[in-house]
Amino acid sequence: MELTASQVRKLILDEHALLRDEMQDIDLLLKDIAAKRSEAAERLQLRMQRFYEAFLKHIAHEDSVLRPVLADIDAWGAVRVEKMDDEHREQRTAIAALTALNPMADFDDYLMRVRAFVAALAADMAVEERECLSPEVLRDDTIVIDTFIG
């Protein structure tokens, strides 16, 4: 079943809402860590692993359903797709780097990196929603440009 542009927009925005909820939970956990470092470190590492899996699934989903719609949506489609591909590549690289870290080796550094990743991800999602997922971009009706001259 092929999805309409508005269905793709709703699907991706719904996923963004779920990811935002996860990021809020992570943020609360990060704040709790200062008081109970070792227990919180283990909880955070497990929580981040679940989040990474969910997020990687999400960007794979965007690649399969959003990418084709963006590519053909308007004259800027190729630019949007290239930007999305670059962001997804960077996000996968960041997740791989974070996953390789041992939180107990340098816990403060781990916290700083997780906070930076979550903040960057929230910012990227906001830009994506504005530039790729807005109703003005992902719409079901086609835009016809009058090319008649003369």
List, for residues 118-135, the tens digit of each pLDDT value: 999 999 999 999 998 889
3-state secondary structure 18-74: HHHHHHHHHHHHHHHHCCCHHHHHHHHHHHHHHHHHHHHHHHHHHHHHHHHHHHHHC
Question: Predicted confidence band at 146 (pLDDT cuts at 50, 70, 90)?
Answer: low
CB–CB of 139/4 below 8 Å? no
Q: Tens digit of pLDDT for each residue in 28-70?
A: 888 777 666 777 778 888 999 999 999 999 999 999 999 999 9
By residue count, the chain amounts to 150
Confidence of residue 138 (pLDDT cuts 50, 70, 90): confident
pLDDT at residue 113 in the model = 94
pLDDT band at 142 (very low <50, low <70, confident <90, very high): low
Instruction: Note the pLDDT tens digit of each residue in 19-37.
Output: 999 999 988 888 777 666 7
Q: Is pLDDT of 149 > 70?
A: no
pLDDT for 36: 65
pLDDT of residue 145: 52
Side chain identity, residue 111: L
**Neighbour count for residue 125 (Cβ, 10 Å):** 21
